[in-house]
A and B are shown apart, each in its own frame.
Chain A
Amino acid sequence: MSSDDLKNIIDKIKEGEVKMRPKSYFAAKTILMVVGLVLAILVALFLSSYVFFHLKASGAFGLAGFGLDGTKDLLLSLPWLILFVVLVFVALLLWFAEHYPIAYRNPLLYSVLGILLIVLVGGYAVANTPLHPYFFKVFAPPQKAGLMHMFYARPKRVPPRNGLVGHLKEIGQGYYLIINPNGAQFKIVINNDTNFVPEEVDFEIGDVVLIHGKISGREVEAWGISKINPGGPSIYFLGDH
């Protein structure tokens, strides 16, 4: 840079062509960053807690009790699109965090793990508050519409893979009849392939149960059956009936 360039810079400043940004500009920028950060945290927590709520409400969480096959079906029942959006928000939070010395002075892995932990543990905590059951009651009814309705109607609309939640209508010899949340009746066939039937549990008419099995039309060849506790987070107990 020549002395002409230096003169050029100073002249531009003196002539007012280049001006200092006021402190209020940086204060506003900081406030916007903080607001953005808080909003990103809230959205990430809401979405991750929704994933937990969805798994509980649809009965998918219960599939983990049916061994390896059940666990595999639980994983395949995850709302992957929503999880992807959660990951996008995790990346956004990481971008926010990397503007602050506490993040960039430490290994990136710590920030990644810290943010994931906040989103997962925070999400699980929020999922155990009455927030989602309340939203479910407000937005799930069929007469509602919009994004929130799509969200909260989903646990009822999308059953877990190879899973079925319903209440017992009839107990017969080698079969049960259950009614699913949409009012459809299913015949549950109990045979030698039914491995997970708790012997100590006495099923009674009206019990809410989770079936894991091969669903063909309105008949289910059961691999496992378990009772869902009343008062639990299943859609059956959330008041949409």
Chain B
Amino acid sequence: MELSDEQLVEKTQKGDVESFRFLVERYKPKLTRYGSRLLFNKADLEDVVQEIFIKCYRNIKSFDVSRKFSSWVYRIAHNEFINHGKKFSRQLIDYFDFEVLLPKQAAPDNPQEDFDRKQLKEILEKSLAKLDAKYREALVLYYLEGLDYKEIAEILRVPTGTVGIRIMRGKKQLKQYLEPTT
């Protein structure tokens, strides 16, 4: 039976390097894909992802195995990508963003209403560079990485309502880009 992320972390914390190898193998494609959608400079992507795993290993004893490993590793990745891409960070570090200051409760997302999910993924892949960074990251994590609102909120350290609003507004932006062509 395949061990869960958290079980692998527990074994790594006890010094089992092979368990960490499994974690790296499991998350390497996900984090590389995540980074490729956020960083404009793809040349350093492999180095950044490697740095994420090194940080992850160094700090693994701070991880509480009762929590979700994926949120923790994506949080490290989020910080690394922010620190790496200056252009990206300028757009993303928007601390006193009204959506964070006092987010309204966004309606649960229902992609079927306006977009077919598969179609939306394709459009998103093509339009990533045009989107505002804060909307881009929320959309990438939700539609392309398949994370739920709660996990995204933990990664971005914003209220769940803010995630909903960013996804909703990101989709609106996507629609605006599509309108001239449709």
Q: Which residues of A come within 8 Å of B, CB atoms?
A: 1-2, 5-6, 8-10, 12-14, 18-23, 25-26, 98, 101, 104-109, 112
What's the Cα separation between A108 and B102 when bound, in Å? Answer: 6
> In this complex, what residue of B is CB-closest to A2?
B46
14 contacts between A and B (CB under 8 A): A1-B50, A5-B49, A6-B24, A8-B50, A9-B54, A10-B20, A12-B54, A18-B57, A20-B57, A105-B160, A106-B159, A107-B162, A108-B100, A109-B101
Nearest CB of chain A from residue B49's CB, rounded to whole Å = 5
Q: Is the interface of B mostly helix, strand, loop or mixed?
A: helix
On whether the beta carbons of A109 and B50 are closer than 8 Å, the reply is: no
CA distance in complex: A12, B50 (Å): 11
* B101→A18 contact, CB < 8 A: no
**Interface residue B21 (Cβ < 8 Å from any Cβ of A):** yes
Contact with A along B103-123 (1 / 0, CB 8 A): 100000000000000000000
B37 contacts the other chain (Cβ, under 8 Å)? no
B-side interface size class: 20 to 34
Contact of A9 with B50 in the complex, beta carbons under 8 Å: yes
Main DSSP-derived SS at the A contact region: helix
Question: What's the A-B contact tally at a CB cutoff of 8 Å?
Answer: 71
How many angstroms between the C-alpha atoms of A5 and B53 in the bound complex? 11
Q: Which residues of B contact A18 (CB under 8 A)?
A: 54, 57-58
Give the chain B neighbours of A107 by CB distance below 8 A: 100-103, 159, 161-162
Question: A18-B57, A104-B158 are contacts. A10–B17 as well, Cβ < 8 Å?
Answer: yes
Contact indicator A108/B24 (Cβ below 8 Å) = no
Q: Tell me whether B176 is interfacial, beta carbon within 8 Å.
A: no
Task: Kindly supply a per-residue 1/0 record for chain B positions 61-77, scoring 1 wherever the CB is within 8 Å of any chain A CB and 0 otherwise.
Answer: 11000000000000000
Which residues of B in the span 16-61 have a Cβ within 8 Å of any Cβ on A? 17, 20-21, 24-25, 28, 32, 46, 49-50, 53-54, 57-61
B133 at interface by CB-CB < 8 Å: no
Give the Cβ gap from A88 to chain B, nearest Cβ, in Å: 16
